[in-house]
Structure 1
Amino acid sequence: MSIAARRLSPDESRARALAAARELLIEAGPGAVTLKAVAGRIGRTHANLLHHFGSAAGLQRALAETMAETITASIGAAVVKARSGQGSARDVVDLTFDAFDKEGAGALASWMILSGNEDALDPILEAIHRLVDELGATGEADIPQLTLQLVMAALGDALLGRAMASALGLPRETARRMAAETLARARGLPVG
């Protein structure tokens, strides 16, 4: 006796697919985020995911967009908290570095670039730009430069940080500490 899969609304189906895609990204890297793998994980068909995303590139773009929105929201909240004296530069740095490393954003962005799917980066860049605009609304002109520096440090650390720190005989968290010190100095925040 077979058990029919519960019918999901289009929004529920899309959300489950994106959650599964994010799990696959974290577990096995961006190459594992395929329509077939996501469909198998959520008990749906390849055709069902094609309907929602159009292609593997569409799935990856939607994943990048979802991740960018949640990540920038948490980083924005940490910045506001640090500005109010209830957080630190290290809190902001850790969220940013974790997004690129532990949550897979660095690997996903690099993979998109290397596979020629650079348009899929647009949602990430747009989300970061919106966050910079929100944070800079207080008239702080250095927000774009600090953001660029932090994002580039986090991306580089996600891709090469472990190997580079090891080769140089430095503790793994050195890049995070340096980024937090830079941010703290620039914004007058506690380092953390």
Structure 2
Amino acid sequence: MTAARELLLSEGPAAVTLAGVGKKIGMSHTNVIHHFGSAAGLQTALMGSMIRDLAGALDDAVSHLRTDAAAPSILIDQVWTAFDEGGAGQLAAWLVLTREVDHLEPIRQAVLDLVAAVKEKYASDPEADERIRSIVLLIAIAAFGDAVIGPHLRGMLDQDSDAGRKLMSRLLPVLVMG
């Protein structure tokens, strides 16, 4: 799974093949077939692994929101890390482009838990639910966009690699409170 993830992150979804993974780990593609059954089996296993990692990162973000005063920046850091370094941005793009969005279903509860934690931490208004859901949507879309096209846009705008993350960290408290 590590080799498949590295290929996805460095070369894109087309590189996640039995032969590509086999080459990366020094095995023949028939050995990889033995473990996964097919290229689709390998890709499904990779998606499952990455989705579990994303759900875990969201769960960690929820824990920090409930216990840590530095929660806004930690939340943004964890989401950005999951989408960028963890590969969730590339995974989401891959799932959407191949029309396999049903693979995203396992993170539904983690996203809903994140909404509840943000609401619990920042919103005393019982009608804040829609605003909080919109904020979580904005964070996810921003992290996704930053992971997928951010490096190119930041280069065009002469911004450092953390520009989007820093911007969202500054915006989150303002958006939640206001």
Change (3 A) 1:138 1:169: closer
2:79 is aligned with 1:96: yes
Correspondent of 2:168 among 157, 172, 179: 179
Q: 1:51: Cα distance to partner?
A: 4.6
Change (3 A) 1:36 1:170: closer
Unpaired stretches in structure 2, ≥5 consecutive residues: 120-128
Q: Which runs of structure 2 are paired with 1:110-125 in the superposition (5 Å)?
A: 110-114=93-97, 117-119=98-100, 121-123=101-103, 125=104
Residue identity matched to 2:170: E
Determine if contact 1:107/1:159 at 8 Å carries over to the other structure. Answer: yes
Change (3 A) 1:173 1:19: closer
Regions of 4+ moved over 6 Å? none
CA distance in 2: counterparts of 1:147 and 1:127, whole angstroms: 17
TM-score, with structure 2 as normaliser: 0.75
Determine if contact 2:135/2:176 at 8 Å carries over to the other structure. Answer: no
Q: Deviations over 1:30-74 (max 9, x none)?
A: 332111122333454434433543432332222121111122212
Find the counterpart in structure 1 of residue 40 from structure 2.
57
Which has the greater radius of gyration?
Answer: 1
CA distance in 2: counterparts of 1:136 and 1:169, whole angstroms: 33
Q: 1:150: Cα distance to partner?
A: 1.3
Of all paired residues, the percent bearing the same amino acid is: 37
TM-score, with structure 1 as normaliser: 0.70
Corresponding residue SS for 2:149: helix
Q: Which runs of structure 2 are paired with 1:24-173 in the superposition (5 Å)?
A: 24-114=7-97, 117-119=98-100, 121-123=101-103, 125-136=104-115, 140=119, 141-142=129-130, 143-173=132-162
Instruction: Report the RMSD for the aligned CA atoms in angstroms.
Output: 2.8
Corresponding residue SS for 2:65: helix
Determine if contact 1:132/1:144 at 8 Å carries over to the other structure. Answer: no
Q: Which moved more, 1:149-158 or 1:127-136?
A: 127-136
Determine if contact 1:21/1:33 at 8 Å carries over to the other structure. Answer: yes
Unpaired stretches in structure 1, ≥5 consecutive residues: 1-17
Find the counterpart in structure 2 of residue 12 from structure 1.
none
